[in-house]
A = this chain, B = another copy of it.
Amino acid sequence: MSFAPLQNDTFLRACLRQATDHTPLWLMRQAGRYLPEYGATRAKAGSFMGLATNVDYATEVTLQPLERYPLDAAILFSDILTVPDAMGLGLSFAMGEGPKFATHVRDEAAVAELAVPDMNKLRYVFDAVTSIRKALHGRVPLIGFSGSPWTLACYMVEGGGSDDYRAVKTLMYSRPDLMHRILSINADAVAAYLNAQIDAGAQAVMVFDSWGGVLADGAFQTFSMAYTHRVLEQLQTEKDGQRIPRIVFTKGGGLWLNEMNSLPCEVLGVDWTVNLGRARLVVGGDVGGAGKALQGNLDPNVLFASPQHIETEAVRVLDSFGLPHTDRATTGPTHIFNLGHGISQYTPPDSVAALVAAVHSHSRRMRA
């Protein structure tokens, strides 16, 4: 496949710890329910899965936020749970509710039936990646993604969302052997899935460890981080001569940054509880040396305040990271602006415009 040349490489450069003229910005769930045009497309599609599995609709909604805002990256419109759906667990989304699986995996027999799914069952995702990449015409890079092995396991065992993770943790504490088996399969499936997204045109990939932060110290390293590592080490890191950055985001993982520094990835995403300046000291690395780019971390609830308050809080986040690396001849600590979690469906669209303007202008001022 051949695609149009990339016009705005700010995001990819920052992922690789290279200097940029401004701090690149994208938002988790930037294509979503807060946009009225998304609602219109979803109504045409009939259901969330109807939207996600239709290449034209998925392309349409992925590009919607880019029509409104000068964001520095696009992210595939899909769900973190497509892989267990392809394993045969039957994913669905009731209106206004979270994901649900028809089958859950809670005993030895159910675990024995699990296997890395045939990637042809996920063809609709790879087709969407290629379609979106073409539709972007090189405006900004396209990010592919998946849930982490642990996060997928949470949903597979619970059968949906959970307040207390009782079922998945009961399995983990009482039958660690079964949990390791689920996680091994998930890791190999996620690796194959992300590699196929890269083959289809994804220019960076992100692993969402949305529920890593519910684990105890020790359990996180054993049951989440180790399997994210297993995913990352299987990923292709270059495609058509371009490096493919790998991003890992663990919600609630700020206490383990020091350990996550050893993950074979280029970027670590952090939520709003993390002080970016301190995180930079831990994982940002030195000029010329190894280290991670950092992605984050505005509280999405800031977007319910006035444009002036949004600017104040965006500046606070940029300043907490401090001046990123500016020398184009070397690499050094860099920052990708994002929220610390997905954007709320109730966000006023004008708030996003205010945020994007504030991040771009203040981050240019910092470099001046």
Chain A: residues with CB nearer than 8 A to chain B? 164-166, 169-170, 173-174, 213, 215-220, 252, 254-255, 272-275, 297-302, 304-306, 309, 313, 316, 320, 340, 344, 346
Contact A169 B344 (CB under 8 A): no
Alpha-carbon separation in the docked complex, A169 to B272 (Å) = 13
What are 10 contact pairs spanning A and B, CB under 8 A? Answer: A164-B301, A164-B344, A166-B344, A166-B346, A173-B301, A173-B305, A218-B316, A220-B273, A254-B254, A255-B273
Alpha-carbon separation in the docked complex, A335 to B299 (Å) = 34
Alpha-carbon separation in the docked complex, A298 to B219 (Å) = 12
A179 CB, min distance to chain B CBs, angstroms: 12
A113 CB, min distance to chain B CBs, angstroms: 24
Identify which of B164, B255, B273 contacts A216 (C-beta below 8 A): B273
A165 cross-chain contacts in B, Cβ below 8 A: 301
Alpha-carbon separation in the docked complex, A320 to B221 (Å) = 15
A299 cross-chain contacts in B, Cβ below 8 A: 169, 173, 215-216, 219
A298 cross-chain contacts in B, Cβ below 8 A: 216
Contact A217 B274 (CB under 8 A): yes
Identify which of B174, B301, B313, B316 contacts A305 (C-beta below 8 A): B174
Contact A273 B316 (CB under 8 A): no
A29 CB, min distance to chain B CBs, angstroms: 13
Alpha-carbon separation in the docked complex, A252 to B217 (Å) = 12
A274 CB, min distance to chain B CBs, angstroms: 6
Contact B215 A173 (CB under 8 A): no
Contact A309 B215 (CB under 8 A): no
Identify which of B215, B275, B304 contacts A174 (C-beta below 8 A): B304
Q: Contacts A164-B344, A166-B344 hold; do A273 and B213 have CB atoms under 8 A apart?
A: yes
A116 CB, min distance to chain B CBs, angstroms: 28
A301 cross-chain contacts in B, Cβ below 8 A: 164-166, 169-170, 173
Closest B residue to A174 by CB, please name it: B305
Alpha-carbon separation in the docked complex, A215 to B297 (Å) = 12
Closest B residue to A176 by CB, please name it: B309
Alpha-carbon separation in the docked complex, A365 to B316 (Å) = 50
Contact B217 A173 (CB under 8 A): no
Not counting A164-B344, A174-B309, a sample of 16 additional A-B residue pairs whose C-beta atoms are within 8 angstroms of each other reads A164-B300, A165-B301, A169-B299, A169-B301, A169-B302, A170-B301, A170-B305, A173-B299, A216-B299, A216-B340, A217-B273, A217-B274, A217-B275, A218-B275, A218-B316, A219-B299
Closest B residue to A275 by CB, please name it: B217
Residue of A170, A213, A300, A346 contacting most chain B CB atoms (<10 Å) = A170
Alpha-carbon separation in the docked complex, A255 to B282 (Å) = 13
Alpha-carbon separation in the docked complex, A220 to B213 (Å) = 18
A220 cross-chain contacts in B, Cβ below 8 A: 273
Q: Contacts A164-B301, A299-B169 hold; do A217 and B272 have CB atoms under 8 A apart?
A: yes
Closest B residue to A340 by CB, please name it: B216
A-B complex: 9 closest residue pairs judged by Cβ atoms: A169-B301, A216-B272, A173-B305, A170-B304, A174-B305, A217-B275, A216-B299, A254-B255, A173-B302
